[in-house]
Amino acid sequence: MTPFTYLRADTVNDAVRLGAGETAAFLGGGTNIVDLMRETVARHETLVDVTRLSAAVTETAEGGLLIGAAATNTAVAEHHGVRTRYPMLSRAILAGASAQIRNMATVGGNLLQRTRCTYFYDTDGSHCNKRVPGTGCDAREGFNRIHAILGASDACVATHPSDMCVALTALDAVVHIEGRDGARTLPFGELHRLPGDRPDLDTVLAAGELITAIELPPLGFAARSTYRKVRDRASYAFALISVAAAIEMDGDRIADVRIAFGGVAHKPWRATKAEAALRGQLASEAAFRAAAAAEFADARPLRDNAFKPELATRTLAAVLAELAKGDVA
């Protein structure tokens, strides 16, 4: 075990000050960062406990919800406003982990969890540009069943592991951030990065910046939404493909829609091409498949995951068919 210093922050200002060092990290529930340190993938000299910061879920003046970053996944999934107004988020959280992990894991920590690529965790012999920049990516020619088909690069084909983040991407959430230069907000879709030639950087956060809250904007038709996750086993495996979707109908036609995919890229993937293809269309299997085809036209499957575009297409079509009929309770 690498020795480290443990500090506890009582205020946001304390957290930003204590977490300013390059080797510091913020500690929420610890369900990912502790594993990373135990496996020596991460080596932090200072951990700043931020679990005493805001865990409240409150109404915003605009009619949305503001979720404190220290809120547990369980608290968010069970919140009445989330379950009734943003059901895709509740369902994504419940699909993501066991009750024990949800009781510990925090919203802020969920956003910052790292890939579960096997080569990233194998410190004994695997080459991984995300873990050690410049060493190569063994996943490209290795076992790559769970890896990316969109937005990948020669440097990295890892996928983002979060279920919650897929729903937040579809909901146009806003991230509230505090740092040494003050407060700022960021559209959720801009928080995570595609790998490019720096796959070691998962987000656009500067060193020492702290996520303090997630804001869900008012989106009336988000009440007609759901999340579906396809995985190798039912017991809390990471997604091969997941879909978060919300739909607004005008008779038999799709007036508006929000779609995001998990399991396909280095970040939660907002399906803007599919959304554009669906607006104004009759809700039909043909329209759903055409929208998926538009989204995955640039997909670059690897040897072991060539099934993913078709699996994603079938999953999207099934989800949208249920939502269009109002069959999802």
Q: CA nearest 48: which of 69, 74, 20?
A: 20
Contact 276/305 with Cβ under 8 angstroms?
no
Contact 164/178 with Cβ under 8 angstroms?
no
What the block records as the tokens of 165 is 């983040």
Q: Which residue has the tokens 């937040």?
A: 168
CA atoms of 203 and 92, how far apart (whole Å): 21
What DSSP element (H or E) covers 288?
Answer: helix 285-295
Name, in order, each residue with C-beta under 8 angstroms of 131's C-beta and a sequence gap of 6 or more. Answer: 41, 120, 123, 200
CA atoms of 193 and 111, how far apart (whole Å): 12
CA atoms of 207 and 217, how far apart (whole Å): 27
pLDDT in tens, 267-309: 999 999 999 999 999 999 999 999 999 999 999 999 999 999 9
Contact 23/44 with Cβ under 8 angstroms?
yes
Low-confidence ranges of the chain (pLDDT < 70): 1, 327-329
CA atoms of 151 and 216, how far apart (whole Å): 26
Please give the pLDDT value at position 252. Answer: 95
What the block records as the tokens of 301 is 């499957």
CA atoms of 173 and 66, how far apart (whole Å): 10
Contacts of 111-114 spanning 24+ positions with Cβ under 8 A: 111/162, 111/164, 111/165, 111/168, 111/175, 111/191, 111/203, 111/211, 111/214, 112/26, 112/32, 112/202, 112/203, 112/211, 113/31, 113/32, 113/161, 113/162, 114/32, 114/36, 114/41, 114/161, 114/202
Please give the pLDDT value at position 1. Answer: 67
Give burial (CB, 10 Å; 0-12/13-18/19+) of 62: exposed
Tell whether pTM > 0.85.
Answer: yes
CA atoms of 189 and 76, how far apart (whole Å): 20
Q: CA nearest 218: which of 63, 326, 112?
A: 63
Whole-number CA gyration radius for the chain: 19
What the block records as the tokens of 220 is 């009336």
